[in-house]
Amino acid sequence: MMRSEGLRRLCPAVLRILAVAAAYYAGGRIGLLQQVVVEGAVVTPLWPPTGIALGCLLWLGLGVWPGIALGAVLVIHSISPIDYVGLAIVAGNTLAPVCAFLMLRQVGFRIALERFRDGVALVFLGGFAPMLISATVGAWLLELTDSLPEGGFWTVWWTWWAGDAMGVLVITPLLLVLRKAHLPLETYRWAEASALAVSAVAVTLLATRSGLALLFLVFPLLIWAALRFQLAGSAPVMLLVSVLANAAAIGQIGPFADHTLVEGMANLQALNGSAALTSLLLSALVTEQNTIRLRIEQACQELAEVVEQLASGRSTTRWPALDEDAPGPVGEAEPRAPRAVDDA
């Protein structure tokens, strides 16, 4: 009986680990479609597996970390045979999201992203700080094995770090918002969402394909999405902006045409970072303000109901009828008939 109970608990855990590994591997294969070779190292401007790994940890808990390691092994094996360098990179790619999860849990992070502090925590404790681990381990191992040219360490390092951090800032919010995503019920919301989607595609294509340096046009779209739809709108728009901008930078077209690959990667990461910060932090701030407003309205409504109950209770209270011969209220003199004056 105890053995069957243990197997019953073990099977869902194993399935979760395998599902995480499959998701990590799928994200890695998609990320490799936009790979570039910088100083002899294969890197990607946006590495989705880091965002998938952190999202799975926030969803399912720390127990799914073997799935991250297994997925990283499969991704690296699809590029080259696994050796001690590959295993060390797997360790770094696993340790980075695990550290991000632990730091976020330490500060009381809420996966609903309904507070501004949650957005700030995801940016700095989920993306920027822990991804230093994977970038440092990977670049240092390549340098140690003489796989990089002279002076190429820092270029590979910051490109690796930016790709991992952007994976968290772009993919993780999208995964978190899918947990509670629902279709709008009002007709006007459908119309506005459709207008936002069409505008996002058209404007982003123009900004990333035109040679007029119009990349700043994506920010009004991100602000519109964050103000009106919060994270449910800004996260998909941010993903669209990042994918199209990555394709333009890798192909060196549009605003990236007159730059070298390294310069294009620097401009691309500046765009991705600024856009991710704008969409994520503004969405969290608007969500927090809306939550506060709803709580205030609810408190006012409850107070109004209490006042109404008190008022109705007082109006329906029936006072006892006063007897004419009964003494008046305390402190009031009862009127008396005038006393006759005796003339005698």
Please report which confidence band the pLDDT of residue 180 belongs to, taking 50, 70 and 90 as the band edges.
Answer: confident
The mean pLDDT value for 40-56 works out to 90
The confidence score (pLDDT) of residue 314 equals 63
User: To the nearest whole percent, how much of the chain has pLDDT over 90?
Assistant: 59
Pick the residue with more confidence: 145 or 107?
Answer: 107
The mean pLDDT value for 108-125 works out to 92
For residue 136, is pLDDT > 90?
A: yes
Please report which confidence band the pLDDT of residue 219 belongs to, taking 50, 70 and 90 as the band edges.
Answer: very high
Please report which confidence band the pLDDT of residue 49 belongs to, taking 50, 70 and 90 as the band edges.
Answer: very high
CA 131, CA 92: separation in Å to the nearest integer? Answer: 9
Predicted structure pTM score: 0.83
Q: Which residues are within 8 A (CB) of 162 and not within 5 positions of it... i.e. 6 or more apart?
A: 45, 265, 269, 272, 273
Please report which confidence band the pLDDT of residue 41 belongs to, taking 50, 70 and 90 as the band edges.
Answer: confident
The mean pLDDT value for 197-217 works out to 92
Mind listing the pLDDT tens digit for each residue in 235-280? 999 999 999 999 999 888 989 988 888 888 889 989 999 999 999 9
Please report which confidence band the pLDDT of residue 81 belongs to, taking 50, 70 and 90 as the band edges.
Answer: confident
The confidence score (pLDDT) of residue 104 equals 96
Mind listing the pLDDT tens digit for each residue in 273-320? 999 999 999 999 999 999 899 999 999 999 998 998 888 876 555 545
Mind listing the pLDDT tens digit for each residue in 267-276? 998 999 999 9
Mind listing the pLDDT tens digit for each residue in 315-325? 555 545 545 45
CA 36, CA 295: separation in Å to the nearest integer? Answer: 49
The confidence score (pLDDT) of residue 82 equals 85
For residue 333, is pLDDT > 50?
A: no
The mean pLDDT value for 108-119 works out to 91
**SS (HEC) of the chain:** CHHHHHHHHHHHHHHHHHHHHHHHHHHHHHHHCCCEEECCEEECCCCHHHHHHHHHHHHHCHHHHHHHHHHHHHHHHHHCCCCHHHHHHHHHHHHHHHHHHHHHHHCCCCCCCCCHHHHHHHHHHHHHCCHHHHHHHHHHHHHHCCCCCCCCHHHHHHHHHHHHHHHHHHHHHHHHHHCCCCCCCCHHHHHHHHHHHHHHHHHHHHHHHCCCCCHHHHHHHHHHHHHHHCHHHHHHHHHHHHHHHHHHHHHCCHHHCCCCHHHHHHHHHHHHHHHHHHHHHHHHHHHHHHHHHHHHHHHHHHHHHHHHHHHHHHHCCCCCCCCCCCCCCCCCCCCCCCCCCCCC
Please report which confidence band the pLDDT of residue 90 belongs to, taking 50, 70 and 90 as the band edges.
Answer: very high
